[in-house]
Homo-oligomer: A and B are copies of this chain.
Amino acid sequence: MKSTARIVTNKIESLFPTSRTKKLHRKPPGEVPGKAVHTGEQRLENVLITVHDFDEEHFDTISINKIEKSEPFLQDKSKTWIQVMGLHDIDKLKSVWEYFDLHPLVQEDIVSVSQRPKVEHYENIIFIVMRLIKPVSDQNEKVSLHTEQISIVLGENYVLSFQESDDPIFDPILKRLEQKSTRLRKYGPDYLAYALMDTIVDYYFQALDLLGDSIEKVEEQILGSPGGEHLQVIHSLRRDMIYLRKSVWSLRDGVNALIRDDSHLMTDEVKIFLRDVYDHIVQVIDSIETNREMVIGLFDMYMSGLSNKMNEVMKVLTIIATIFIPLTFIAGIYGMNFDPEISPYNMPELGWYYGYPISIVVMILVTAGLVFFFKKKEWL
């Protein structure tokens, strides 16, 4: 984890490399709603469609080109998970959507990739939008947070999942599907939808740990010696935290509604598991709030640390100045040119036998007095 902190403080950039420049892309005002326009970047060459068909007895995975090829899987009694990767090829996606007769607004939301997370009930499906936030490290061990929108459509006997890239986030689920007599194989498609949601929520914990690490590292550095660069780091952390909160916050109400609502698509058995997801989301939100308070605390610490440091500088420097000013004055006195020969009152000290040593002693005494005074005042 060392690398994380190093990045944060050296390169001083947001952990979300893509979040800053992202606009709230929307269709032009007045355009027909439900018109699907992909608002993200293309991350894959082709849209990949994979069909996973399974029940307690079997588990098959095939890649298909045309959605019609999934027909046999959907017809039989087994459960089918159609995993779509890549959102740039609207035509291909459209064939999938129309095959499943998805509402135009669902189509629009799937490819409009800066949605807030939500759970929506349509006539015969439940539509779930979530934001994946996942720590990734590049070749320089630089850790950043990869983020993409993931949409899940839960139907009678199928689950559709849409994601922007081919990031293998759901591979652990596939591995579990391979094993017989797991809950995934036994339960209905609602359990699969739950499992996908659970996986995404699990990544939030990793992202939070990463952010927590950064905060603690910065905290230590600021307590040590606050510098101008920390201002930017703190601002960046604040930004990340706001982004993270926005990505998770509305999910809580969505999942809660899912638990409370009556929908034949979601069984009571799976709702107990959803309650667990809900719990984790609340925990994530709690942690985000805690971290936000910490970041605000960081700023306070930074400001007062800076203030402390400046005060120290000013104090030492001013003390030096203050000690020498009276001394210089004394030296100035005996640099005056009053003529001692005209009267005995004119600077007789200049003619004393011990004049110079005495003046030096006086200066030493003044210095000692000031130092003593400063010490008493605890300024030294």
In the complex, what distance in Å separates the CA atom of A357 from the CA atom of B348? 10
CB of A276 within 8 Å of the partner chain: yes
Name which residue of chain B comes closest to A196, CB basis.
B30
A150 to chain B, nearest CB (A): 12
In the complex, what distance in Å separates the CA atom of A209 from the CA atom of B25? 9
Q: Which residues of B contact A379 (CB under 8 A)?
A: 313
Contact assessment for A118 and B306 in the assembled complex, using a CB-CB cutoff below 8 Å: no
- Among A43-51, A55-63, A74-82, A316-324, the stretch that binds chain B is A316-324
In the complex, what distance in Å separates the CA atom of A318 from the CA atom of B313? 9
Name which residue of chain B comes closest to A12, CB basis.
B223
Q: Which residues of B contact A290 (CB under 8 A)?
A: 242, 246
Copies in the complex: 5
Chain A interface (Cβ < 8 Å from any Cβ of B): 20, 23-24, 26-34, 103, 105, 108, 115-116, 118, 120, 122, 134, 169-173, 176, 182-184, 195, 198-200, 202-203, 205-206, 208-209, 212, 216, 219, 223, 225, 228, 231-232, 235, 238-239, 242, 246, 250, 272-273, 275-276, 279-280, 282-283, 286-287, 290, 293-294, 297, 299-308, 310-311, 313-322, 324-329, 331-339, 342-343, 345-347, 349-357, 359, 377-379
Interface CB pairs A-B, < 8 A, 29: A24-B283, A26-B205, A28-B202, A30-B199, A32-B182, A103-B272, A105-B273, A116-B283, A116-B286, A223-B232, A228-B308, A231-B301, A231-B305, A238-B297, A242-B290, A306-B308, A306-B311, A310-B311, A310-B315, A316-B377, A317-B318, A325-B328, A331-B336, A338-B349, A339-B355, A342-B351, A342-B353, A343-B354, A347-B356
Additional A-B contacts beyond A311-B313, A332-B332 (15; CB < 8 A): A24-B208, A28-B172, A29-B134, A32-B182, A116-B283, A231-B308, A250-B282, A306-B311, A316-B377, A320-B322, A321-B321, A335-B335, A335-B336, A338-B350, A343-B353
